[in-house]
Amino acid sequence: MRTASVPTIAVTMGDPGGVGPEILLKALARPAVRRLARWVVFGDGDWLRRTNRPLRLPSQPCWDALLDARNVSLRWASRHRPCAASGRAAHRYITEAVRYIQNGRADALVTAPISKWSFVAAGLAAAGHTELLARLTRSPHVAMLLVSRRLKVLLATRHLPLLRVAASLRPEALVEDVRLLHTTLRRGFGIRQPRIAVAGLNPHAGEQGTLGGEEERVILPAIRLARRRLGPGISGPWAADAVFYDAYRGRYDAVVCMYHDQGSVPLKMIARDAGVNVTLGLPFVRTSPDHGTGFDIAGTGQANPGSMIAAMQLAVALVKKTGRAHPH
């Protein structure tokens, strides 16, 4: 794995019809971002050039390290909406970027947003980036960590309907989530003794079982086991309506959340254009903007590149500190 002072980082274009191409171009147009690393872009050169015409951004740095990964016919007329062709294209960008890293040619991966609908339309099984990356790297357990300057949240379950969340929680999986988070906070963020709060699933963290039994049956046993293995910095289960404020004020370094919106909503409230998604458990660093494809604003020039820039900056920082984000 390359770990030079100026790392090489693979960047995927994301769904062609979304805001991914635009935020990528806007990020790479900033000299301060370009200087951080050698950015190798996996995408469609023609599509990026068309996207850039109304933006009129400096394009040369992007084209110098562009690896065209076209394997499908992309029609410019069908842009700014999800479709099977876009799903196949985005999938190809990711798979080729991962292969590039596995061959030792890059240190990390930054991914622009994809459309799960497009993946489904293309007949692809993976539910999203996290699941696809886990399969491509044969990683047995991965987790989604959302990062902002003042709040970090790990999602114990990701893209599941609420009806399935409670039944999917397992003590052993929660312990592994906490372990990955603990390791990442120490080695990736330099926190010597991480303070990790675990949120409850039910209102008021179940009120000792009167408002639901998941805290007593699943979450509390996982916390006790994690404390035995990792130390006293793991606590909970805490009521979700209070724990995020405490974390925001600095009482905790991160919060483990039981379902997607429980953690994503508070983070996006405080860091809508600066949040970063980090995948824990992979053999390399992977970051992504903490937002979706934005089909409603794609092509209008309104897409804010802030989250993409933050993802690129964090990828570089993690590589420099650890060589990879999440050592096992």
Digit-coded pLDDT (tens) for 2-14: 545 789 999 999 9
**150-270 adopts what CATH topology?**
Isopropylmalate Dehydrogenase (3.40.718)
Instruction: Output phi, psi for 111, to 5 deg.
Output: -120, 135
At residue 268, what is the residue type? K
**Over 70: is that where the pLDDT of 75 sits?**
yes
How many angstroms from the chain centroid is the CA of residue 228? 29
Q: What ranges in 103-128 are assigned the alpha helix state H?
A: 116-121
| Residue 11 three-state SS | strand
User: What CATH architecture applies to the domain 1-141+282-328?
Assistant: 3-Layer(aba) Sandwich (3.40)
Q: CATH 3.40.718.10 spans which residues of the chain?
A: 1-141+282-328, 150-270
CB 42 within 8 A of CB 321: no
Query: For residue 328, what pLDDT band results from cuts at 50, 70 and 90?
Result: very low
Q: What is the pLDDT of residues 212-270, one digit of tens each?
A: 899 999 999 999 999 999 999 999 999 999 999 999 999 999 999 999 999 999 999 99
Q: Which value, to the nearest 10 degrees, does the dihedral of the CA atoms of residues 92, 93, 95, 98 take?
A: 170
At residue 198, what is the residue type? V
DSSP string, 227-247: HHHH-TTEEEEEPHHHHHHHH
46's tokens: 């023609």
**Over 90: is that where the pLDDT of 272 sits?**
no
204 secondary structure, DSSP code: G
Query: For residue 60, what pLDDT band results from cuts at 50, 70 and 90?
Result: low
Q: What is the pLDDT of residues 155-198, one digit of tens each?
A: 999 988 999 999 999 999 999 999 999 999 999 999 999 999 99
Query: For residue 299, what pLDDT band results from cuts at 50, 70 and 90?
Result: confident
